[in-house]
């Protein structure tokens, strides 16, 4: 937006009138793009398009005033989400603080750690029994009483805003639960709502689709269609049989979902997490993921948000092949035109690969070959989340390293899922599909990195190593470029939680092993006792403080990889135009490793054989031309400058 227009709007005393003209300006800017995209997927839907234009105006008029002001302010400021100041945490409200009210009382804990961006797992209404951790939604915006009320959420967002904390909530864009009001009406026989989903009188079409559709949950929800006796029809259910896929070939669905999206954004949400967005369009004869039309829908959502609620941005939850993830930023090389943020699922999988293999070759290969993202978009970098770890690695890259992709994946599953005696990991195998040999991994970061085994066996060396691994992986997501998202509990080294096995509703979904209750009793002891948990907490806290104190950690496309020839080491440099820089070095091996350091002097990280480590804040001297890193050690070296 033009600076002068913005200035005029902000300075104006005419209030509403100018805010309205802001809307009109944004509509004028985006209208052609919206129209083109809309008619690409809905070529004959002229009435629906007129409805869309009216809807945009209606949605804008309902946007709360303070958010309209925020829209105007944020639209022309430096993208806040690329800042080094941002550090996120993902949490289940019920497991963390019981409910939304309780969460207000825990904000000080988050502040103490340095967290200022929260992803709250689904808090909207869902079926009583199985509900996929809330991802089977009965409503996209109504708060489930279990978490509190709309008022409680408002109080929380107000508190967060006063502390400059940002909020991310989920938008389950691909499906609803089978108890959503649309599904209930469909079951009652209303054709209109049956057309909101993919419903079929018999299995002819489903069977054609099944020939190429993969299965997301092959063990617990095989197939992609579910018979619904109430309507005597089959409905598409790519995830669980109680999650009905929305039929985006119907423009009414897009309009209704856009309304939901804006209502969600109006709750004061800064980032909307687009859940499972790769699945938005289905086409017979394909795997029905990442289709061009799915991208057009995401683009349309973004363009419409830019008109109505431009300060809300989108996160792509696309857990797909590395080369497909980056496409969810959209094609514009500067700003992107789909989601502003995407999960860096590739980096996550590669880090787990490097831990298991103790080598960084695949990590380098993938990073070097990674497609470029738009400059103003950014990643969410993370180690663990509520889901399983999928082995989203590029087969070609694995092959180029001389490994067999299938054999390599099997090794990773064996390593993490307790099928190799020497492995310290205590993960569980998730959704193993004997037909394809594919499987995924569950388990908390600490248990996957050996802490559980170390404590069980009282193995001091393993204890030390697992603690170092936990910290090293966190140091990477905190320094790599993008928003670091810490999974609640990982900041204190929380182990697997096996209580899900006693719960009838949860026991078949072992992702619950990595969805623990926050251990406040343990947290109370952090300040008093020297324990592995307090060491992890204090170290992560220190890394967060350092991240925030060093603007080179903002994502300005300023990460440069360095290869040294040592296959266990990862090195990258973060630089700023001012000439400052930080060199990050990590040793993925269980043995000490050395790095030839001659090049470090040229880059000014070594002067008179001395280097400055930011984390310890010490200056040390090299005795030979080699820099030695102990097992799983990491360094953040400061450029002498």
Q: Where do contacts with ligand GLC occur on this chain (CB under 6 A)?
A: 132-133, 135, 172, 239, 275-276, 317, 386-387
CA distance 14 to 21: 11
Residues annotated as catalytic are 275, 317
Q: Which is nearer to ligand GLC, 196 or 537 (CB)?
A: 196
CA distance 448 to 150: 38
CA distance 178 to 187: 9
∠ CA 336-342-343 to the nearest 5 degrees? 165
* Tokens representing residue 438 in the block: 């594919």
DSSP structural state of residue 487: E
Q: Minimum distance between the CB of residue 579 and ligand GLC, rounded to whole angstroms? A: 41
Q: Where are the beta strands (DSSP E) in 239-353?
A: 243-245, 271-274, 313-316, 341-343
* Tokens representing residue 83 in the block: 């800042």
Q: Minimum distance between the CB of residue 117 and ligand GLC, rounded to whole angstroms? A: 18
Q: Which is nearer to ligand GLC, 239 or 329 (CB)?
A: 239
Q: Which of 456, 462, 430, 458 is nearest to 443 (CA)?
A: 430
Q: Minimum distance between the CB of residue 213 and ligand GLC, rounded to whole angstroms? A: 15
CA distance 19 to 37: 26
∠ CA 318-324-329 to the nearest 5 degrees? 70
Q: Which is nearer to ligand GLC, 255 or 385 (CB)?
A: 385
Q: Minimum distance between the CB of residue 294 and ligand GLC, rounded to whole angstroms? A: 14
> Using CB atoms, what's the residue nearest to ligand GLC?
135
Q: Minimum distance between the CB of residue 275 and ligand GLC, rounded to whole angstroms? A: 5
CB atoms within 10 A of CB 271: 24
Q: Minimum distance between the CB of residue 239 and ligand GLC, rounded to whole angstroms? A: 4
Q: Which is nearer to ligand GLC, 134 or 631 (CB)?
A: 134
Q: Which of 2, 40, 36 is nearest to 22 (CA)?
A: 2
Q: Minimum distance between the CB of residue 567 and ligand GLC, rounded to whole angstroms? A: 33
Q: Which is nearer to ligand GLC, 135 or 248 (CB)?
A: 135
Q: Which is nearer to ligand GLC, 237 or 337 (CB)?
A: 237
Q: Minimum distance between the CB of residue 386 and ligand GLC, rounded to whole angstroms? A: 6
The residues, any chain, with a CB within 8 Å of residue 521's CB and separated by 6 or more, are none
Q: Which is nearer to ligand GLC, 291 or 594 (CB)?
A: 291
Handedness of CA 383, 389, 393, 398 (dihedral sign): positive
Q: Minimum distance between the CB of residue 279 and ligand GLC, rounded to whole angstroms? A: 9
SS3 content of the chain, % helix, strand, coil (to 5): 45, 15, 40
CA distance 514 to 497: 6
Q: Minimum distance between the CB of residue 18 and ligand GLC, rounded to whole angstroms? A: 40
Strand, helix or coil at 378? strand
Q: Residue 537: phi, psi to the nearest 5?
A: -60, -50
Q: Where are the beta strands (DSSP E) in 515-578?
A: 559-562, 569-575
Strand, helix or coil at 120? strand
The residue written with tokens 């109006």 in the block is 266
Q: Which is nearer to ligand GLC, 381 or 467 (CB)?
A: 381
Q: Which is nearer to ligand GLC, 132 or 555 (CB)?
A: 132
Q: For 164, what's the count of Cα atoms within 13 Å in the CB-facing half-sphere?
A: 6
Q: How many residues does the chain have?
A: 641
Q: Which is nearer to ligand GLC, 130 or 555 (CB)?
A: 130
Q: State how far the alpha carbon of 102 is from the alpha carbons of 106, 108, 447, in Å.
A: 7, 12, 28
Largest CA distance in the chain: 80
Contact 187, 174 (CB under 8 A): no
Q: Residue 244: phi, psi to the nearest 5?
A: -90, 125
Contact 368, 561 (CB under 8 A): yes
């Amino acid at each position: 937006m033009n600076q002068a227009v913005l200035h005029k709007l902000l300075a104006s005393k005419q209030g509403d009138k100018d805010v309205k003209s802001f809307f009109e300006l944004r509509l004028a800017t985006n209208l052609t793009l919206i129209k083109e995209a809309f008619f690409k997927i809905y070529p004959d839907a002229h009435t629906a398009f007129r409805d869309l234009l009216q809807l945009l105006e209606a949605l804008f008029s309902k946007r709360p005033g303070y958010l309209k002001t925020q829209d105007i302010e944020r639209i022309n400021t430096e993208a806040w989400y690329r800042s080094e100041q941002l550090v996120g945490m993902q949490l289940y409200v019920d497991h963390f603080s019981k409910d939304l009210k309780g969460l207000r009382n825990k904000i000080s804990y988050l502040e103490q750690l340095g967290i200022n961006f929260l992803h709250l797992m689904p808090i909207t209404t869902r079926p009583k029994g199985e509900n996929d951790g809330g991802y089977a939604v009965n409503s996209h915006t109504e708060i489930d009483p279990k978490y509190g009320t709309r008022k409680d959420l408002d109080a929380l967002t107000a508190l967060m805003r006063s502390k400059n904390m940002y909020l991310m909530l989920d938008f389950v864009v691909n499906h609803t639960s089978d108890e959503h009001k649309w599904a209930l009406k469909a079951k009652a026989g209303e054709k209109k709502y049956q057309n909101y989903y993919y419903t079929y009188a018999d299995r002819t079409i489903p069977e054609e689709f099944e020939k190429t559709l993969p299965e997301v949950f092959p063990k617990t929800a095989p197939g992609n269609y579910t018979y619904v006796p109430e309507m005597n029809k089959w409905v598409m259910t790519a995830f669980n049989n109680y999650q009905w896929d929305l039929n985006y070939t119907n423009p009414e669905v897009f309009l209704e979902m856009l309304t939901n999206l804006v209502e969600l954004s109006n709750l004061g949400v800064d980032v909307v997490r687009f859940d499972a967005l790769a699945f938005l369009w289905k086409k017979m004869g394909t795997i029905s993921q990442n289709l061009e039309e799915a991208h057009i829908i995401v683009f349309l959502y973004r363009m419409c948000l830019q008109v109505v609620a431009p300060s809300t941005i989108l996160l792509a939850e696309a857990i797909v092949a590395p080369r497909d993830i980056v496409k969810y930023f959209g094609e514009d090389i500067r700003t992107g035109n789909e989601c502003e943020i995407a999960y860096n699922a590739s980096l996550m999988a590669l880090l787990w690969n490097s831990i298991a293999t103790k080598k960084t070759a695949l990590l380098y290969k993938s990073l070097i070959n990674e497609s470029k993202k738009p400059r103003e978009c950014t990643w969410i970098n993370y180690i663990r989340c509520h889901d399983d770890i999928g082995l989203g690695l590029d087969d070609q890259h694995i092959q180029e390293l001389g490994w067999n992709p299938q054999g390599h994946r099997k090794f990773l599953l064996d390593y993490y899922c307790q099928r190799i005696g020497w492995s310290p990991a205590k993960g569980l195998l998730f959704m193993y599909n004997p037909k394809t040999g594919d499987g995924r991994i569950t388990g908390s970061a600490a248990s996957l990195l050996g802490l559980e085994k170390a404590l069980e066996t009282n193995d001091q060396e393993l204890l030390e190593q697992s603690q170092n691994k936990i910290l090293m992986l966190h140091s990477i997501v905190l320094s790599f470029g993008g928003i670091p998202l810490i999974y609640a509990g990982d900041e204190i080294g929380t182990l697997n939680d096996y209580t899900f096995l006693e719960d009838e509703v949860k026991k078949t979904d072992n992702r619950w092993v990595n969805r623990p209750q926050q251990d406040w009793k343990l947290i109370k002891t952090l300040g008093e006792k020297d324990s592995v948990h307090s060491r992890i907490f204090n170290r992560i806290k220190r890394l967060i403080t350092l991240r925030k104190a060093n603007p080179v950690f903002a994502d300005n496309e300023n990460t440069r990889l360095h290869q040294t020839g040592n296959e266990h080491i990862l090195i990258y440099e973060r630089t700023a135009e001012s000439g400052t820089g930080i060199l990050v070095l990590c040793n993925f091996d269980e043995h000490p490793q050395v790095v030839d350091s001659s090049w470090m002097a040229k880059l000014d990280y070594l002067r008179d054989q001395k280097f400055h480590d930011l984390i310890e804040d010490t200056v040390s001297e090299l005795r030979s031309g080699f820099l030695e890193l102990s097992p799983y050690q990491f360094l953040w070296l400061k450029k002498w400058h």
